[in-house]
Structure 1
Amino acid sequence: MHTDWWELPLRATIIYIALLVMVRVSGRRTVGQFTPFDLLVVMLLSESVSNGLSGGEDSVTGALLAAMTLVALNLSVAFITSRSTGFRRVVEGDPILIGRDSVIFENVLRAQRIPLGDAKQALREADCDLKDMKFLFLEADGDISVLKDSAVPA
């Protein structure tokens, strides 16, 4: 290895945290449903950070050290989010109400960069007419969930 052993884990940690923040800020649909454009961004992100991650280190040992650091960070985040509600909210976010009582909140959809068609598609997939919708949520993972009015027969 050409670099100090501690430099690669430090670089991996910085890049992991920076990308986690960027993905979190970019919106829920980035995580929930990849469009071809989202996939392109992910591919370009990985290419753009690769030199910063490796610091010019080309050895197998250096690559494995960086990879182990990323896996350990990912496992750590998963472990902490499973045990800490506050940390989970920071990393993943909370569901957002995007419709209630047969009304879809288009201003909330715009703020979350969700097309109205995605909300309507979620209703169709749940076999729920708009008039039967009680709540419509944008989940933390980017999915849209539908709760039907309980007064409506199934």
Structure 2
Amino acid sequence: MNPILDVVVRSLCVYLFMVVAIRLFGKNQLSQLNAGDVVLLLLISNAVQNAMVGQDTSLQGGLIAALVLFAANFIVKRLMFSNRKFESFLEDDPVILIKDGVIDEKALDEVKISKEELQEAIREHGVDGTKNVKLAILEVDGNISVVSEDEKSKQTNYSRIKRKNKRKYLR
């Protein structure tokens, strides 16, 4: 096989494998990484590097592999934008955790978030307790968005804070 075509095919195979693996093992950790996640990503990148370029360790081989990864990512993003089924395969839907001050225990259990973690997220948004939460949603990126209502002015407030410690969840 042509060495350049070999790098292209290998890179595409590794890219597709990584997309599926991230989907299966939880992707929400990728927006903010802890030390274990960084180590895992470094080890995975080292493990798949040879699988992508094979015997071609030249600058050309590395650049071709990188170009293929960028192109594959661009195509996947376009497919997600144009095809709802493909998007729902790669990304989970947001999960409602609190509605009108009532915690959805089943949803918390499903996404593996404890009540204490939920309370912490609510406090991070500056809301005093679940009774003042109109809506709390676990977004597809692992962040929790909170819509609250000010008791005095009856004005609805929305806030979204990037969580330091995201929780993985599988469906």
32-41 vs 46-55, greater mean Cα deviation: 32-41
Deviations 1:118-151 (A, max 9, x none): 4223212322231111222111111111122588
1:111 corresponds in structure 2 to 110
Q: Which is richer in helix?
A: 1
1:14 corresponds in structure 2 to 13
1:48 corresponds in structure 2 to 47
| Number of aligned residue pairs | 153
CA contact (8 A) 1:100 1:134 kept: yes
Runs of 4+ in 1 over 4 A off after TM superposition: 149-152
TM-align CA RMSD = 2.4
What SS does the corresponding residue of 1:135 show, helix, strand or coil?
Answer: strand
CA contact (8 A) 1:29 1:114 kept: no
Distance 1:32 1:118 in 2: 18
Q: How does 1:117-136 map to 2 (within 5 A)?
A: 117-129=116-128, 130-136=130-136
2:137 corresponds in structure 1 to 137
CA contact (8 A) 2:28 2:140 kept: no
Query: Deviation at 1:28?
Result: 4.2
Distance 1:150 1:28 in 2: 34
Distance 2:104 2:38 in 1: 28
Distance 1:94 1:150 in 2: 28
User: Structure 1 28/120 Cα, relative in aligned 2: closer, same or farther at 3 Å?
Assistant: farther
Distance 1:113 1:17 in 2: 27
Q: Which runs of 5+ in 1 are unaligned?
A: none
CA contact (8 A) 1:33 1:142 kept: no
Q: Which runs of 5+ in 2 are unaligned?
A: 156-171
1:93 corresponds in structure 2 to 92
TM-score (norm 1): 0.83
CA contact (8 A) 1:101 1:135 kept: yes
What SS does the corresponding residue of 1:82 show, helix, strand or coil?
Answer: helix
Distance 2:136 2:31 in 1: 16
